[in-house]
Amino acid sequence: MEFCKIKDVELEDVDALIYLCIPPERRDFPSFVEGAEAKRRWARKSLEMFGGVAKIAFLGDSPAGLIQYQPKLEDKVLEITCIFVPERRNQQQGVGKSLLNALIEDAKKPKHYFGDAPPSALVTWAFGVPGYYPQNMFYLKMGFKKAVENNPFLLYYPLKEGYVYQPKAGKFTPQPEDKGKALIFYDPSCPFCMYFTEQIKAALSEAAPNLPVRVVNMFEEQEEVKKRGQAPICAVNGKPITAFFLDKKNFQREVEEALTET
């Protein structure tokens, strides 16, 4: 008997994909309701454009884990945006490995959006979440390589023999309309997106109570992202804020410094 069943996410599975990530006690919070809706729109549109966005692992009838991906068309690589086995009782049984192996097999097939060729590699920014086995350790165990020696999180898995992933160094190009305001860029493929956006807004309003804030959906407003090159999570007065918003002291110091610049 198969130990777990891997299913490609179709329209009917989008809510299962969303709610695998949101703990039940948070599902009615307004920021998670909004985040779930943003993800629903992203998933439906991406399914229509690319035919696939994620795979879910089922243990019996219950969803136990997910792997989510999207093409990076300009680099001809498939980006894994998340792998997650949320519940401890389902971890360390091979669910994560089964999801990744299913994606690797799938990725070897031609894709219409890569001109009927397979991608050259899987790439991922393997960020960590406190309390969980780190994604980057998992991927390194699974044969991924570092794209840049001194960056432990940017990893790739070549699908073409001899392929070496060389990430382009992007730069944020502020626009004239960014002066005197804050921009928050969010990725709607994560259902925590609006929760994080609210946290950033709160940190901003402590440092600069009257600062106007513009929130940009990075999937639905791609032109806004493209014209600014490499979008940070937050920019103030045209300057990217590098400190993470939970690092309040440094985040607020950077905000104040950005506002004193002309």
Ligand X SMILES: CC(C)(COP(=O)(O)OP(=O)(O)OC[C@H]1O[C@@H](n2cnc3c(N)ncnc32)[C@H](O)[C@@H]1OP(=O)(O)O)[C@@H](O)C(=O)NCCC(=O)NCCS
Q: Give whichever of 140 and 243 is closer to ligand X, judged by the CB atom.
A: 140
Is 94 a binding residue for ligand X by CB under 6 A? The answer is: yes
Sites for ligand X among residues 127-156 (CB under 6 A): 128-129, 132-133, 135, 138, 141
Per rule CB under 6 A, count of chain residues that contact ligand X:
18
CB of 18 to ligand X, least distance (A): 13
Residue type, 195: Y
Q: Give whichever of 29 and 172 is closer to ligand X, judged by the CB atom.
A: 29
Using CB under 6 A, which of the segments 95-103, 113-121, 157-165, 213-221 binds ligand X?
A: 95-103
Is 97 a binding residue for ligand X by CB under 6 A? The answer is: yes
Which of 102, 80, 98 lies closest to 90 in space, CA to CA? Answer: 98
Is 83 a binding residue for ligand X by CB under 6 A? The answer is: yes
Is 92 a binding residue for ligand X by CB under 6 A? The answer is: yes
CB–CB of 39/48 below 8 Å? Answer: no
Residue type, 52: G
Is 93 a binding residue for ligand X by CB under 6 A? The answer is: yes
Distances (CA, A) of 194 to 22, 66, 187, 246: 12, 20, 9, 15
Nearest to ligand X by Cβ — which residue? Answer: 96
CB of 98 to ligand X, least distance (A): 7
Is 96 a binding residue for ligand X by CB under 6 A? The answer is: yes
Q: How far apart are CA 139 and CA 244, in angstroms?
A: 24
Q: Give whichever of 132 and 244 is closer to ligand X, judged by the CB atom.
A: 132
Which of 54, 69, 45 lies closest to 19 in space, CA to CA? Answer: 54
CB of 4 to ligand X, least distance (A): 9
Q: Give whichever of 95 and 207 is closer to ligand X, judged by the CB atom.
A: 95
Q: Give whichever of 62 and 92 is closer to ligand X, judged by the CB atom.
A: 92
Is 95 a binding residue for ligand X by CB under 6 A? The answer is: yes
Which one among 19, 29, 50, 84 touches ligand X, defined by CB under 6 A?
Answer: 84
Residues that bind ligand X (CB under 6 A): 82-85, 91-97, 128-129, 132-133, 135, 138, 141
